[in-house]
Structure 1
Amino acid sequence: MSSLSTHVLDTVSGRPAAGMRIMLWSADSLLAEGETDGDGRLRDFPALAAGAYTLAFHVADYFREQGADLPDPPFLDVVPIHFGVVAEGHYHVPLLASPWAYSTYRGS
């Protein structure tokens, strides 16, 4: 089994994205959901077996709560990051986000 964590950075403010809603999916099953803490981190995920997963980051809701004037519909709404777990260990999936762009990578 593997562990999972994520960290979201708000590239508009240059700060951690505290309070962003994130959902973890496996196929069509919701496994967990929560909000990032004051440091933009979420660590409370269940242990993961090998397989395909999706983290869904609620980017538009977060930026609206920060006061961003977003169009309807927003350019980015829920950002899905599809990733695979193939071996035991720790998987860290960071997201750098703005209302108009995002970037991710496998962190440590």
Structure 2
Amino acid sequence: MRVRDLSSNPVSASHEGLARFLLRSEAIASSKIEGLRVSAQQIALAELAQTDDSVVKGLSANAQLVANNITALRGATTEVARRPDSPTACQEMSRPRCGATVGA
């Protein structure tokens, strides 16, 4: 079964929340492997700052990096679901982009 088939299946809609949780968990675990240890509250604030384009006081650079990792993984999975047979999609995903906005 292909990713596109899974996403178009009505039963799959019930798994959407679980999928978001697992993607977020994977990004956080990957960040921990990279040595970035951040509290759940800091990550949530960093994600909120990304969506609102607002400034959050006391937000660490590591929290921003982890939030960027979550965003990058979410974007990558969306792109693969949109173009599952494209080797270019996989090549584009492998480019480092997680730290692009830190310090900006």
Under a length normalisation based on structure 1, what TM-score does the superposition of the two structures give? 0.31
- Point out the structure with the larger helix share: 2
Whose Rg is larger?
A: 2
Under a length normalisation based on structure 2, what TM-score does the superposition of the two structures give? 0.32
- Point out the structure with the larger strand share: 1
